[in-house]
């Protein structure tokens, strides 16, 4: 909850706010990230400094989207292996990526309203059903009590957790979790911010900020509370060793094993595989849309990127994780995300300064 809470969502919120001020308020007919930095870049927005901003944005989206697609593939393949006994290997993972890419292509062809919107709405409903099933069929009392205590723990120790570097034990937790996930969010920020900006026409700045920091954090917290505490209960009661399964196999395999223990476990494994596949498709359909929008020179508020342009980026997003899986797997995907996040640190500073200047112009 801490890593995926307001701090993480703030990495998304800043680019969304900067782009919204530029695109919707100042009526700049471009969704390029450099356009949101215009108050800082001035006449260099369309020259090499601005072009570098757009280049780093594209590289960041490609690297992090491919990483997320790789993680999603690992989960779905582990679930299929648990359900059918098919060996979890490169061939199965490639088939899953191709299926997700096919869904992306279908969604791109259908457009924003009939594609991404429909798939996202359906999958959000399926995910909530799955969450309620785990809550009801699992240790309900334990989940609720631990959930309340966890929220209190995060609130009470927020400052300590924010500054914790683990210098004594050197457990690598900070590097593997805090640094990695926040670097991933940092690199994903312009992508999510651009997509949120495009679909937020008519919203106020307050609604945009509260919707992302508030509802986004709440949604993540609910899933961590229910699924995390279900796993914790099974570990503490000795019914299922999550730690051992992670150590001997993978986190994705441990999740699949936990779901299999629910009543009608095979059905819920299939249900989770469907959710995972659609989540992969909708997330990276959004990524292909954003990449196409960010690479389009001019895009009016009632216009969308060309279908062929979105299809091109969907193909790129599908081929990259397949290539990296041949090389060595998820470790290379994680490294790509970390590398992609470094140049964006300077861009975030420009976005912050640009946003403050635009807000002063809007409301002196």
Q: Is residue 345 part of a domain?
A: yes
Q: Is residue 1 part of a domain?
A: no
The whole-number pLDDT of residue 330 equals: 59
CATH number of the domain within which 246 lies: 1.20.1740
The whole-number pLDDT of residue 139 equals: 93
* Residue 311 to residue 103: CA distance in whole angstroms: 11
The whole-number pLDDT of residue 112 equals: 62
Q: Is residue 207 part of a domain?
A: yes
The whole-number pLDDT of residue 148 equals: 94
How many domains would you assign to the chain?
1
Q: Is residue 252 part of a domain?
A: yes
Q: Is residue 297 part of a domain?
A: yes
Q: Tell me the two tokens of residue 259.
A: 């779901």
* Residue 281 to residue 72: CA distance in whole angstroms: 10
The whole-number pLDDT of residue 333 equals: 63
Other residues' Cβ atoms within 10 Å of the Cβ of residue 4? 17
Q: What does the buried/exposed string (b/e) look like for 214-229 if buried means 16 or more CB atoms within 10 Å of the residue's CB?
A: eebbebbbebbbbbbb
Helices (H), the chain: 6-20, 33-36, 38-41, 48-84, 90-111, 117-137, 140-156, 158-163, 173, 180-199, 205-210, 217-223, 229-236, 242-248, 251-260, 265-294, 307-327, 330-362
Which positions of the chain have pLDDT values less than 50?
none
Q: Tell me the two tokens of residue 339.
A: 């590398």
Q: Is residue 290 part of a domain?
A: yes
Q: Is residue 322 part of a domain?
A: yes
Q: Is residue 144 part of a domain?
A: yes
Q: Is the sign of the CA dihedral 112, 113, 115, 116 positive or negative? A: positive
* Residue 239 to residue 227: CA distance in whole angstroms: 15
Q: What is the pLDDT of residues 220-244, one digit of tens each?
A: 999 999 999 999 999 998 888 998 9
User: What is the Cα Rg of the chain in Å?
Assistant: 21
pTM of the model: 0.84
Query: Which residue, among 326, 31, 353, has the nearest Cα to 197 in the 3D structure?
Result: 31
3-state per-residue secondary structure call for 233-273? HHHHCCCCCHHHHHHHCCHHHHHHHHHHCCCCHHHHHHHHH
- Domain span at residue 264 reads 6-362
Which residue in this structure is represented by tokens 């471009």? 30
How far is the CA of 91 from the CAs of 61, 94, 205, 326, 333, in angstroms? 26, 5, 46, 10, 18
* Residue 192 to residue 347: CA distance in whole angstroms: 15
Q: Is the sign of the CA dihedral 327, 55, 309, 105 positive or negative? A: positive
């Amino acid at each position: 909850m801490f890593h995926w809470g307001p701090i993480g969502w703030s990495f998304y919120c800043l680019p969304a706010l900067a782009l919204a001020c530029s695109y919707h308020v100042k009526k700049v007919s471009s969704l390029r990230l450099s356009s949101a930095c215009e108050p800082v870049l001035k006449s260099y927005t369309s020259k090499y400094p601005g072009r570098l901003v757009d280049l780093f944005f594209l590289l960041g989206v490609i690297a992090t989207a491919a990483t997320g697609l790789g993680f999603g593939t690992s989960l779905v393949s582990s679930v299929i292996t648990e359900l059918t006994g098919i060996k979890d290997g490169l061939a199965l993972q490639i088939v899953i990526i191709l299926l997700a890419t096919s869904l992306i292509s279908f969604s791109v062809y259908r457009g924003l309203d009939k594609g991404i919107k429909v798939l996202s709405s359906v999958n959000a409903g399926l995910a909530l059903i799955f969450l309620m099933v785990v809550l009801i069929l699992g240790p309900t009392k334990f989940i609720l009590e631990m959930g309340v205590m966890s929220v209190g723990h995060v609130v009470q120790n927020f400052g300590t957790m924010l500054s914790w570097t683990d210098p004594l034990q050197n457990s690598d937790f900070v590097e593997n979790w805090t640094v990695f996930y926040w670097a991933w969010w940092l690199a994903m920020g312009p992508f999510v911010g651009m997509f949120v900006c495009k679909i937020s026409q008519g919203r106020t700045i307050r609604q945009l900020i509260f919707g992302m920091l508030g509802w986004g954090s709440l949604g993540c917290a609910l899933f961590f509370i229910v699924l995390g505490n279900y796993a914790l209960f099974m570990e503490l009661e000795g019914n299922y060793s999550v730690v051992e399964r992670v150590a001997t196999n993978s986190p994705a395999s441990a999740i699949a094993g936990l779901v299999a223990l629910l009543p009608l476990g095979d059905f819920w494994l299939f249900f989770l595989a469907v959710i995972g596949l659609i989540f992969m498709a909708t997330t990276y359909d959004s990524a292909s849309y954003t990449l196409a929008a960010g690479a389009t020179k001019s895009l009016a508020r009632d216009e969308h990127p060309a279908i062929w342009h979105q299809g091109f980026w969907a193909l790129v997003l599908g081929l990259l994780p397949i290539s990296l899986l041949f090389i060595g797997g998820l470790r290379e995907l994680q490294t790509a995300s970390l590398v992609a996040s470094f140049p964006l640190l300077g861009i975030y500073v420009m976005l912050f300064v640009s946003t403050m200047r635009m807000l002063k112009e809007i409301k002196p």
